[in-house]
Amino acid sequence: MTDPIPYTPPAVWQWNKESGGKFASINRPVAGATHDKELPVGRHPLQLYSLGTPNGVKVTVMLEELLALGHSGAEYDAWLIRIHEGEQFGSGFVSVNPNSKIPALLDRSDAGNPVRVFESGAILMYLAEKFGALLPTSGAARAECLSWLFWQMGSAPFLGGGFGHFYAYAPEKYEYPINRYAMEVKRQLDVLNQRLAVNEFLIGDEYTVADIAIWPWYGLVVKGQAYDSGEFLQVHEYTHVVRWADQVAKRPAVQRGRKVNRVTGDLASQLRERHEASDFESKTQDKLEAAASASASSPAR
């Protein structure tokens, strides 16, 4: 790993070439729609437009937890947005999220006055307050929960956009940014480790939106399931985070939510779109591909 040739920034930055790396084709310095495309709308009150990234998983886990608690109004349609193909720049998506990032939620409980919610932390808060669940309503517990929720929102960019980008996705690896962000990620893991050494969940004995927000990012990292970086970061050292990550991962709603809008990994773990609870049993990608294969091999009649 060698340092790059020193770069002298010009007086005025200009966008005259792709930045390189895995996401170069969808990065651009301007906002707004690039093409006209309306979003599909299903029959449930909540319409989610997303992808099974950590930020997307936060919301599908939240929705599955609400349904598990008996909140039938949390039924949802989860539509797949393929960000590598630029679907987040369609006019319909931009109308729900002008920032063109997943996830985006459209609450059509009142079809005449739909409510758009974007940014994953805002969606978690909106759903928690709408259904009165998974977020303390007052006092120190609420303040602690919101503090950890916003800790995640502020910290994860250093993990994903910082460490993850330079360690796993950048076209070339350089020592300075990898060391800079590895140090910060290890500090963040230590923050969590010290907290979880004396608490079952982030705010104490109660599982909340704080855990739902933090687990898709840091739960995967500490289990060595993100950026192929487990050995590099020595994640096994954070024993209390590992305990918590395993505990959260065993929750049935978490297991369901992690499958929704997922397009990588084992086919049985991919439910690319979710419209009914029964889809988990009948419409995972392994079953859809098996059915398609059987249909293609059947003799014509």
Which pLDDT score is estimated for 27? 85
Choosing from 87, 104, 131, the residue where a domain stops is 131
Axis-axis angle for helices 252-259, 239-249 (nearest 10): 80
Of the candidates 188, 178, 179, the residue with the CA atom closest to the CA atom of residue 241: 188
Instruction: Report the number of distinct structural domains present in the chain.
Output: 2
Q: Are residues 61 and 155 in the same domain?
A: no
In a domain, 105, yes or no: yes
Which pLDDT score is estimated for 19? 64
Q: Are residues 122 and 184 in the same domain?
A: no
Choosing from 257, 277, 296, the residue where a domain stops is 257
Determine the structural domain holding residue 199 and report its residue range.
Answer: 139-257
Query: Which residues of the chain fall below pLDDT 50?
Result: none
Which pLDDT score is estimated for 139? 97
Which pLDDT score is estimated for 295? 81
Q: Are residues 233 and 252 in the same domain?
A: yes
In a domain, 40, yes or no: no
Q: Are residues 122 and 154 in the same domain?
A: no
Which pLDDT score is estimated for 13? 93
Q: Are residues 116 and 195 in the same domain?
A: no
Q: Are residues 127 and 182 in the same domain?
A: no
CA distances from 25 to 90, 163, 229 (A): 15, 20, 25
- Is the pTM higher than 0.85? The answer reads yes
Strand order in 76-80's β-sheet?
A: 76-80, 46-50, 104-107, 115-118
Q: Are residues 114 and 145 in the same domain?
A: no
In a domain, 119, yes or no: yes
Choosing from 80, 100, 131, the residue where a domain stops is 131
Model confidence over 101-156: pLDDT tens digits? 999 999 999 999 999 999 999 999 999 999 999 999 999 999 999 999 999 999 99
